[in-house]
C-alpha cells in the first residue's frame, strides 16, 4: 500500500490531488467491468450488443427529453440491471482500515497547500 493508493483490495483505489479537488483512480475496478463485458460478449455477443444498443438509444432519447423523463428512468434501470448482472451492482467495496486510509488520503489531497513566496517587486 502506498500513500497514493490507500485502498488495495478487493479493488485498488488511488487518490490524486487536482486543482479543484481530487481524482480517484478506479482503473482496477473499471478493468473488472471491461473484463465482465468481454466475458458476456464471449458467452452471447449478439444479446449483449442488443442490450448495449438499447441503452444507447435510451440515452439519446433521455438527453433529448430531460432528466425526469421516462427514457431517463428506463435507461438508468437498464444500466443498473446490466451492472447487477456483471459486477454485483457497480458498488466498490472498501473494508476495515482501508476506509480510514481512504478518508485520510482524501483529506490530505484537499488540504490547503502553501503558495511559494513571490519575489518582491523589482527583485531579480
Give the N- to C-terminal CA distance of the chain in Å, as an integer: 44
CB 33 within 8 Å of CB 82: no
Report the predicted TM-score, pTM, of the whole model to 2 decimal places. 0.81
H/E/C letters for each residue in 48-59? Answer: HHHHHHHHHHHH
Cell (9 digits) for 24: 480517484
Per-residue pLDDT for the chain (124 aa), expressed as one digit of tens each?
Answer: 788 999 999 999 999 999 899 999 999 999 999 999 999 999 999 999 999 999 999 999 999 999 999 999 999 999 999 999 999 999 999 999 999 999 999 999 998 877 666 555 555 5
Q: What is the pLDDT of residue 114?
A: 73
pLDDT at 117: 66
pLDDT of residue 58: 97
Amino acid at each position: 500500500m502506498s500513500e497514493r493508493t490507500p485502498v488495495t483490495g478487493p479493488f485498488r483505489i488511488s487518490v490524486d490531488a487536482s486543482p479543484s479537488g481530487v481524482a480517484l483512480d478506479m482503473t482496477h475496478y473499471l478493468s473488472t467491468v471491461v473484463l465482465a463485458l468481454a466475458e458476456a460478449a464471449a458467452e452471447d455477443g449478439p444479446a449483449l450488443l442488443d442490450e448495449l444498443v438499447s441503452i444507447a438509444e435510451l440515452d439519446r432519447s433521455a438527453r433529448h427529453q430531460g432528466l425526469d423523463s421516462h427514457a431517463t428512468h428506463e435507461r438508468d434501470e437498464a444500466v443498473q440491471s446490466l451492472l447487477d448482472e456483471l459486477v454485483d451492482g457497480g458498488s466498490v467495496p472498501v473494508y476495515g482500515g482501508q476506509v480510514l486510509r481512504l478518508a485520510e488520503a482524501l483529506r490530505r489531497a484537499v488540504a490547503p497547500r502553501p503558495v511559494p513566496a513571490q519575489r518582491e517587486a523589482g527583485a531579480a
